[in-house]
Amino acid sequence: MERIAVIGLGAMGAPIARRLLANGRRITVWNRSPQRAAALRETGAAVGSSPADAARGAEAVIVMVADPQALLAVTEGEHGIAAGVGPEAVVVQMSTVSPSSVTRLAKALPAGTGLLDAPVLGSVAEAASGGLRILVGGPQALVERCSPLLEQLGSPLHVGELGAGTAAKLVANNALFGVLGVLGESLALGGALGLSWESLHEVLGVTPLAEQAARRRGAIEAGVHPARFALALARKDADLVADAVGDGRPGLGLTAAVRDWLSDAERAGRGGQDYSAVLTHILHTATKGPRR
């Protein structure tokens, strides 16, 4: 696969396109904001006038957009990917969306067009370096066909048939959010019970939360959370989990609680910060700031 279209040039799509260009692929890009596409043109990419135009003639179409609504906007309609992609091509859907979005996309594509759902674990640095973990759903033969392309972006893990990649990404993100929720509340509990900030971290250092507590400590103390993964997007993903399983699903009380924390933090103005800012929000809410 040499002719690749990349649809969506946000924080992840742009470095993916640049990496493929650096590896000798012929890249055509499209983005809702033309300025980002223009920046890629300067590095050698062609720019499509629409998602359909970018997809026309491509052997693979990589889609990396923000949410299910954005996926619908770039795939359907007279200017959408489905209107331009050929039956011999493969669409590689890498956005974090809902399982139902993948099902709808499969129905929208022309007969014969391949489809993989392949969301990723990792952020901008990993996208630029080729260090993403790619959770791939789809037929084995199609995964093998696309493996050389995916391996330029990271390490593919085939987790099942179409839709399994999206399910796996929601599970992985749910685990990440849960860890932060437990960490935040543990920090708040320690403060409420009178432990010093230093002693609290010494205690957490001998628990399963040790690595995360050490990793997040500096950002909490500085009150600065540069966005690798924006909190607003994390809240969106938490909503996707809730929508996929239902808010009242027995046994997922922690999932619902962490979703509430993320929503509260976003309403408090932290949506543009890193999702780990939920820790500072929990502390400020529960203890009015960390004890030192």
pLDDT in tens, 154-165: 999 999 999 999
> 292 pLDDT band (50/70/90 cuts)?
very low
**Annotated catalytic residue 107:** no
Q: Which two tokens stand for residue 150?
A: 């995916």
Residue linked to tokens 């924390």:
261
Q: Is the pLDDT of residue 290 over 70?
A: no
Q: Which domains can be identified in the chain, with CATH numbers?
A: 3-162 (3.40.50.720), 167-287 (1.10.1040.10)
6's CB contacts (< 8 A; 6+ apart) are 13, 16, 17, 20, 27, 28, 29, 30, 45, 54, 61, 62, 64
Burial (CB < 10 A; 0-12, 13-18, 19+), residue 39, is middle
Marked catalytic residue, from 107, 169, 236, 288: 169
Q: Which two tokens stand for residue 236?
A: 């969106």
Q: What's the pLDDT score for residue 247?
A: 57
Strand, coil or helix: 105: helix
48's CB contacts (< 8 A; 6+ apart) are 5, 28, 29, 30, 54, 55, 56
> Could you give the residue ranges of the DSSP H alpha helices within 94-163?
99-108, 124-129, 140-151
pLDDT in tens, 136-186: 999 999 999 999 999 999 999 999 999 999 999 999 999 999 999 999 999
d(CA 26, CA 8): 16
Share of the chain above pLDDT 90, in %: 90
For residue 274, the 8-state DSSP code is B
In DSSP notation, 42-61 reads: TTT-EE-SSHHHHHTT-SEE
pLDDT in tens, 55-111: 999 999 999 999 999 999 999 999 999 999 999 999 999 999 999 999 999 999 999
Instruction: Tell me which residue of 168, 177, 184 sits closest to 254, measured CA to CA.
Output: 177
d(CA 269, CA 197): 25
Q: Is the pLDDT of residue 187 over 80?
A: yes
pTM: 0.92
CB atoms closer than 10 angstroms to residue 33: 9
d(CA 39, CA 9): 10
99's CB contacts (< 8 A; 6+ apart) are 163, 166, 167, 244
Cα distances (angstroms) measured from residue 89 to each of 49, 110, 111, 118, 231? 19, 10, 11, 16, 34
- The rounded mean pLDDT for the chain is 94
Q: In the chain, how long is the greatest CA-to-CA distance? A: 65
Enumerate the β-bridge partners of residue 135: 157
Distance, C-alpha 192 to centroid of its chain? 34
d(CA 132, CA 156): 8
